[in-house]
Amino acid sequence: MTAPNFNNYIAATSAPSNIAIVKYWGKKGIQEPVNPSISFTLSKSITKTSISYSQSDRDLSIDFLFEGKSKEAFIPKLKTLRERLINHLPFLKSGSLKIESSNTFPHSSGIASSASSMASIARALYNIQIQIDPDVTANDKQAFISEMARLGSGSACRSTMPGWVLWGETQVLSKSHNKYGISINTYIHPMFNDLQDTILVIRKGAKSVSSSIGHQLMENHPYRDGRIKQANKNTELLLEALKNGDFEAFAKVSEEEALSLHGLMMSSSPAYTLLAPESLRAIKRIIKFREHHHIPLTFTLDAGPNIHLIYPKSQSKIVLPFIEEHLRVLCDNEEVIFDEISLQ
Ligand code: PMV
């Protein structure tokens, strides 16, 4: 009997995080959104992933290392992802898979690491599959990788392409889809192509209520229908604002979405809040500063206390001193992270 010829494969990839302006909040089926969302992909906050895979006929084993250390807590998520992908990526049936990831940004700092992490893992898995069997190619590779990332973490499907991305069906864009993100860069006015995202790290550390719980609490939320309507309307308004270069309309949607997200948490059952007193203090200072200086400056919040300050690069001269003088003091250990939109 000849020994089977088992092979080893490796893939090294990376993917950035993204920040949503219209928020995905609530899911249906297998990680499909109840409403459309729009984000821009960042350029500096990146997860790097390398995967080594050895073929064998034993049931698949998975090892995961994060920044050099074994992270058992992530294994159940990877097992779920494997179950969801096994029909698309047949190599996941057997063998041993070792995944090693690291981030270029600090932990629990208000940058969505699940988005960059799952997007980079989806890219690497796809890469391994085409090395093993180049015939398992997708008609639309971009949509396929985005869909795989979504099956790991919803918002990750927006991290597999640069710049502005729309995920979820909306009647205003016929090619929009619940299963994957689509690039909307061709619709965007140049004013929105160099946006800065400066993250005020108000509180570092793990969130007291995870986003998965938050999504679940939307299932029987008393404002569920209203929220879905609001997100659809805001998607239309944001697309218009992005097309027309209308920063005022953009800021209105951005702030309404950020505050509504937190309002939905406060009106869930059980109710909770992830905001800190300094989050509100920062928001008030930002609004006052904008009113005084009449500049294009806005903010958004993810599911956490940290503030994402959003402004065109041309405003850095006036915004940076404001951050140093009035906002840095509100941050945990005075930590501020400077990122911006990625365009390629
Ligand atoms: O992809 P998830 O399950 O981590 O959910 C992300 C939810 C928000 O970050 C609050 C909004 C969004 O659209 O990114």
Is any ligand 1 atom within 6 A of the Cβ of residue 103? no
Residue 18 CB–ligand 1 contact under 6 Å: no
Q: Give the CATH number of the domain where residue 57 resides.
A: 3.30.230.10
Residue-level pLDDT at 314: 98
Sign of the torsion formed by the C-alpha atoms of 214, 215, 218 and 220: negative
Total domains present in the chain: 2
Query: What is the CATH classification number for the domain harbouring 238?
Result: 3.30.70.890
Domain hosting 75: range is 8-185
Task: Note the pLDDT of residue 1.
Answer: 42
Q: Is residue 334 part of a domain?
A: yes
Query: What is the SS3 string spanning the chain?
Result: CCCCCCCEEEEEEEEEEEEEEECCCCEECCCEECCCEEEEEEEEEEEEEEEEEEEEEEECEEEEEECCEECHHHHHHHHHHHHHHCCCCHHHHEEEEEEEEEECCCCCCCCCHHHHHHHHHHHHHHHHHHHHCCCCCCCCHHHHHHHHHHHHCHHHHHCCCCCEEEECCECCECCCCCCCEEECHHHCCHHHCCEEEEEECCCCCCCCCCHHHHHHHCCCCCCHHHHHHHHHHHHHHHHHHHHHCCHHHHHHHHHHHHHHHHHHHHCCCCCCCCCCHHHHHHHHHHHHHHHHHCCCCEEEECCCCCEEEEEEHHHHHHHHHHHHHHHHHHCHHHCEEEEEECCC
**Do 14 and 137 share a structural domain?**
yes
Tell me, yes or no, whether 130 and 203 share the same domain: no
Our answer on whether the CB atom of 38 is closer than 6 Å to any ligand 1 atom is no
Of 125, 158, 185, the last residue of a domain is 185
Residue 138: inside a domain, yes or no? yes
Residues 143 and 277 in one domain: no
Residues 50-93 pLDDT 10s: 999 999 999 999 999 999 999 999 999 999 999 999 999 999 99
Show the tokens assigned to 71: 């992270």
Q: Are 225 and 155 members of one domain? A: no
Q: Are residues 15 and 156 in the same domain?
A: yes
Examine residue 72 and state whether it is found in any structural domain, yes or no: yes
Tell whether 62 and 162 lie within a shared domain: yes
The per-residue pLDDT for range 259-301, each reduced to its tens digit, is: 999 999 999 999 999 999 999 999 999 999 999 999 999 999 9
Same domain, 94 and 151: yes
Task: Indicate whether 161 and 18 sit together in one domain.
Answer: yes
Closest ligand 1 atom to the C-alpha of 212? 3
Confidence (pTM): 0.96
Ligand 1 pocket: which of 108, 116, 302 to mutate (most atoms within 8 A of CB): 302
